[in-house]
Structure formats: structure tokens, C-alpha cells
Amino acid sequence: MKRLTLELDNDTIQQIKKNDRKVILQLYEYTFNLLMSNAVRYKSNREDQMAIVNSAFMKIISSIDQFKAGSNYFSWAKRIVSNTIIDDFRKNKKYLELFKVDADETSDFNTGDFSPEVYKNMEAEEVQQILDQLPPATKITFNLFAIDGYSYKEIAEELNVGYETVKWHVKEARKRLKLILTETGELIKH
């Protein structure tokens, strides 16, 4: 499959600002895989994934004047989709309830030695199916930490939750992922 290329120079940016539908469609096609790959990590439902993709793309279009021609478009777009996912999570009125952690649960972090190296030989779909088994708050926290590279502090600030809560969710994700991988035999195979 041939990869679509698009030069995001000042002329292209101006065409997007003038709502040139052809150029906007080209930009959508150019950006779609990046947006969808991020949405899939956070949302299990195809409809929810497309809502994230479309919302992020609309933010890209509406803020295209903030993009500096010659800089890395995909890094810029990835930050927008990450912020869109965080905003979507915050919109859920119950999201703070998802982050409540009992004091008893925080005392035992028997996570063992878990390493993301296990994922290297797995197909992306296999990894996604495993991550989809995590509770929503744990899944978003783990994705932000392990995949998107956010620090505990950044996640706590972005999601407006406590630092220790973030640490708990990352450790809980590791513990659950290790258990899932052990049960499926993936930990032994790789």
C-alpha cells in the first residue's frame, strides 16, 4: 500500500484555513492512521474510536494556524489526539469515580517482575485485546504512561487526580497484564 505524502508548507496551511475541501480531505487521509492508532488504544468500540478521530481532526483543522511549517506534523497531531482523548475521558461525569482507590488496595502491589518486552513479538491486535481487558481508568492511565510516555505527575495533572492514584493504576495495570499474559501463556512463549 502506497503511503500518502503531503507537504505541510505555508501554502497548504493557507488552503486549509480557506476550507479547501480537497486539501482537507488529503490531510485527513494523511493523518487518519495516526489518529486511529491512538484512538484504538483507548477506546474498544469502533464508534467511540471514530468519534475521537473526528474530534481530533476537527481540532487539527481549527488550530492549523498554530502549526509551524517545517516542523514535525505527526508529533503535533499526536499531541492533539492525546489531548482529545484526555478531554473525552474528563467529559464522562463518572470518570472521577473510576479513579477512586481503596486504601486497602494500595497496600499490596505484588506486581512481580513485569516487562513490556513481552509485547515485542506479539501482533498489535493481540496487545490491544489484552489492554482492552483493563478497567477504563487503569487502561487510560497505563496507555498514557507506558505508551505515550507521560510521567506520573503529568498524568495526575492532565486527569486531575492524585499522584498516588496514578501510580496505583500503573501498578494495577502491570499486575493485571502479567496475570493475563501468564494465563494465556504469552509470558512463557516470549
Average pLDDT of adjacent 10-residue blocks, the chain of 190 residues: 65 94 95 93 90 96 92 92 88 62 42 45 68 88 89 92 93 90 65
Distance CA(71)–CA(79), nearest Å, equals: 13
Look up the CATH number of the domain holding residue 86. Answer: 1.10.1740.10
Whole-number pLDDT of residue 43: 87
Query: Are both 23 and 87 inside the same structural domain?
Result: yes
Which residue range(s) make up the domain with 78?
10-91
Distance CA(38)–CA(34), nearest Å, equals: 6
Using the CB atoms, write b or e for 114-145: b if 16+ within 10 Å: beeebbeebeeeebeebbeebebbbbbbbbbb
Distance CA(178)–CA(23), nearest Å, equals: 45
3-state secondary structure 33-61: HHHHHHHHHHCCCHHHHHHHHHHHHHHHH
Q: 4 in a domain, yes or no?
A: no
Query: Are both 60 and 136 inside the same structural domain?
Result: no
Look up the CATH number of the domain holding residue 143. Answer: 1.10.10.10
Query: Are both 150 and 71 inside the same structural domain?
Result: no
Question: Structurally, how many domains does the chain consist of?
Answer: 2
> Is 107 in a helix, a strand, or coil?
coil
Whole-number pLDDT of residue 113: 43
Q: 50 in a domain, yes or no?
A: yes
Query: Are both 122 and 141 inside the same structural domain?
Result: yes
CB neighbour list of residue 96: distance below 8 Å, 6 or more residues apart: 160, 161
Read off the pLDDT of residues 34-50 as tens digits, 9 standing for 90 and up. Answer: 999 999 988 888 999 99
